[in-house]
Structure 1
């Protein structure tokens, strides 16, 4: 799963990276201009020293000014007339260097030097200066520039972070408005003021989605109400006919006894219908709205087995039952429906004369239903619970809705429903209560 990234951090990061890139580019331009300016100034000093050598009277004290400049700017010089040396600086070490007219850069004794040669009236002035002096001046300027640039970056980071956080308050408010929406509140999202142009399409689409969802929920509620009425009516009619038959044949005890289970099944079907219709309207996040009482799973499971006993007996299935008394807070009819669906599935997919294990362990808060049958593949396990899904090759009839209904019932009871393959073949369904 791809890790979510913070848009706010990305904006701050992008802003700072672009600023730093611009700052580095400005630093390079500054270094280039500073290098050019430094070279130009020092070259002019070298040219001035050369001019002073050519016009100076070496027998006078006018050379003092040249010495001051050479000491200040680390300049070495030499004045020659043809092959005869007239004047040199105190530490002149370039006697073996072949002079090059005008300005040049060369390597001498492990150091980079700048040279300048000026000839006039058979007089030649040679000026030498180490490049390290110029680079030192350039480095000092660059250090000051970098320090100022760092302070500006720090200031910009604070301002950008403050500005983006302030602007993101609108997004946070919009997110809160969306998060507060529920099935009971699908009113349009109110646009924030001032409204950002980029958020207008998002808000518009969300409001259209909420409107369509509201229409769908109202349509579902109407359908649920109509279905409830249409299904309740025939069940009520059957219940009334059963009561009439019981009164008519009240003297025949065997008839009354035979009609009583049918009447119980109709009453239970009516109650199940009411709960299933309620289930269709409930969201698992609203489980607290479900009516709950203390329910004994031991008793409910025995009632399920009694209701399904004809099918169990018909397939000659052997029951291996170990039921602890276990009380849970829940909706009795929905829990009956859930356990009935799970046991019914286990019976349907069990071979003839196989064993069906049902276990309630109060110490582990767990109910397990395990049957025998064909080995379950990982693909089938992964798709269990999908509505209308039935494994290929299944001969038993069914709608493919039973497990989906069970999962929703268990979610409403804050429990967990897990499925695993039985090592002996078949499926194990496990309900884990908290």
Structure 2
């Protein structure tokens, strides 16, 4: 199962990520340029110190300036006349290098590893005076200021990213108000309200094609609903009338031909079943589980409803000599549509009577358990397989091999009725051998 992704969050993340990538690249570029500039300036400084040592009188003002620069930038130097040291910095401690630097290092800049750190070294000489100078500086000294600048720049970037996240969060959320409003308008649509959707201002060009397609869909849906309502009304009128007429003629024939009464009763039962199938089809077409507010509801006593259903189905139970055993708690009332609840319970008890064996039993239990009102209907008919249990409730589904007559609509109608009342219906194997159906009504349906 795929997980839903928030477009709003994705836009914010994408925008922020692109800004972070740009910021990191800018930081790397800043570090590269700063590194180059620092190395260039510090090398020039070493060259300047070397020139001052070679051409100036180090005992005078020039020597004082060299010492100041040496202390400020942690630069060490040594001036030699062949093997004699003429001058060196106070912190110079690389004497073992000074004796060999003229032979081991070419004139100019170089890098050496000494004392567990990297050094920048510069050597030059004055052929006229036969003097040479060695200038050294730890590389780490050059990057102290650079590291501080990079850290400062990084902190500024983090602050800017946080500010950008806040701006994006509120700005994108504000832009998405149009989409949320459109979603509310779509969710508010029902069978009674299929008017075209009007996009809120400012209109978004990206949403216009989707809104247009939705309006076209609503128009086609409205036309289909009108056609279905017209068909339902016509079918109700055209089919009920001939079935009622057949019932009346069968009553007349029973009185006129008593010898054929048994056969006529069978035909009359077939016509009654056909009438029930028609009523179920029309009821199934009219029910809309999402439209519960317009469903008329009254406070009904479930015990009385169950007793009325049993009384209505008693002739069918008597034909198979079926015993209906009840355990009904009195005064359990819910706020519901009495006709629909009666139809639901009737379908379930009728189904239990049909599938119970000859001389069988039907068990009906009505109790309040765990802050729920539960109605349990069981029979002692043939066992129900797991495959059949999974498909119970599908329209027109009937288990293969069964000889019991039916349309396969009863349980589907019961499911819709329970949805209209925010209830639940569960199917399972009964301990008595047949099917167990449990209806659960939430406690908030109580008045």
Instruction: State whether TM-score is above 0.5.
Output: yes
From 189, 194, 197, give the equivalent of 2:202: 194
1:37 Cα deviation after fit: 0.5
Deviations 1:372-425 (A, max 9, x none): 244434333232211122233433232221100111222333432222222343
Tell me how far apart the structure 2 counterparts of residues 358 and 35 of structure 1 sit (CA, whole Å): 88
1:403 and 2:393 matched: no
2:356 is paired with a residue whose SS is coil
Q: CA RMSD in A?
A: 3.3
- Contact kept, 8 Å, 1:330 with 1:413, in 2: the verdict is yes
* Structure 2 Cα separation of the partners of residues 59 and 240 of structure 1: 139
Could you say which residue in structure 1 is the equivalent of 2:397?
Answer: 389
Aligned to 1:7: 7
Among 143, 148, 166, which residue is 1:140 paired with?
A: 148
Q: Deviations over 1:258-300 (max 9, x none)?
A: 99xx89x98x998997796465324223334334445444344
Q: 1:339 aligns with which of 339, 345, 350?
A: 345
Aligned match of 1:120 in 119, 123, 126? Answer: 126
The verdict on how the C-alpha distance between 1:366 and 1:383 changes in structure 2, with shifts beyond 3 A counting, is same
SS at match of 2:95: coil
Aligned counterpart, 1:298: 303
Establish whether residue 151 from structure 1 lines up as the match of residue 159 from structure 2. Answer: yes
Q: Is the Cα–Cα contact under 8 Å of residues 19 and 161 in structure 2 kept in the other structure?
A: yes
Distance 1:109 1:48 in 2: 26
TM-score relative to the length of structure 2: 0.83
1:160 aligns with 2:168: yes
- Provide the C-alpha distance between the structure 1 equivalents of 2:193 and 2:392, rounded to a whole number of angstroms: 33
Cα separation, partners in 2 of 1:146 and 1:47, compared to 1, 3 Å: same
The answer to whether the aligner puts 1:94 opposite 2:94 as a matched pair is: yes
Instruction: Quote the Cα distance in structure 1 between the aligned partners of 2:29 and 2:134.
Output: 32
Structure 1 stretch 193-202 or stretch 28-37: which is displaced more? 193-202
1:319 paired to 2:324:
yes
| Counterpart Cα distance in 1 of 2:291 and 2:366 | 27
Inter-CA distance 151–333: structure 2 relative to 1 (3 Å threshold):
closer
The answer as to whether partners of 2:378 and 2:432 remain within 8 angstroms in 1 is no
Structure 1 Cα separation of the partners of residues 152 and 306 of structure 2? 84
Q: Distance between the aligned counterparts of 2:117 and 2:381, measured in 1?
A: 90
TM-score normalised by the chain length of structure 1: 0.86
Q: Secondary structure at the match of 1:351?
A: coil
Note closer, same or farther for the CA distance 1:58–1:289 as it changes in structure 2 (3 Å cut).
closer
Pick from 172, 180, 189 the counterpart of residue 180 of structure 2: 172
Q: Distance in 2 between matches of 1:322 and 1:62?
A: 116
* CA displacement 1:316-351 (0-9 Å, x = unmatched): 433322234444444443333222211222223233
Secondary structure at the aligned position of 1:428 is classed as strand
- How has the CA–CA distance of structure 1 residues 61 and 408 changed in structure 2, closer, same or farther, with 3 Å as cutoff? closer
Does residue 1:29 correspond to 2:29, yes or no?
yes
Superposed, 1:33-72 pairs within 5 Å as: 33-58=33-58, 60-72=60-72
Give the SS at the match of 1:86.
strand
Q: Does the 8 A contact of 2:328 with 2:367 survive in 1? A: yes
CA displacement 1:227-282 (0-9 Å, x = unmatched): 11112322453576689899x99xxxxx9xx99xx89x98x998997796465324
Q: Which runs of 4+ in 1 moved over 6 A?
A: 242-246, 268-276
Equivalent residues in 2 for 1:158-237, closer than 5 Å? 158-237=166-245
1:78 aligns with 2:83: no
Instruction: Pick closer, same or farther for the CA change 1:318–1:143 going to 2, 3 Å.
Output: same
Structure 2 match to 1:281: 286
Q: 1:115 to 1:297 in 2, by over 3 A?
A: same
CA–CA distance in 2 between the matches of 1:379 and 1:104?
84
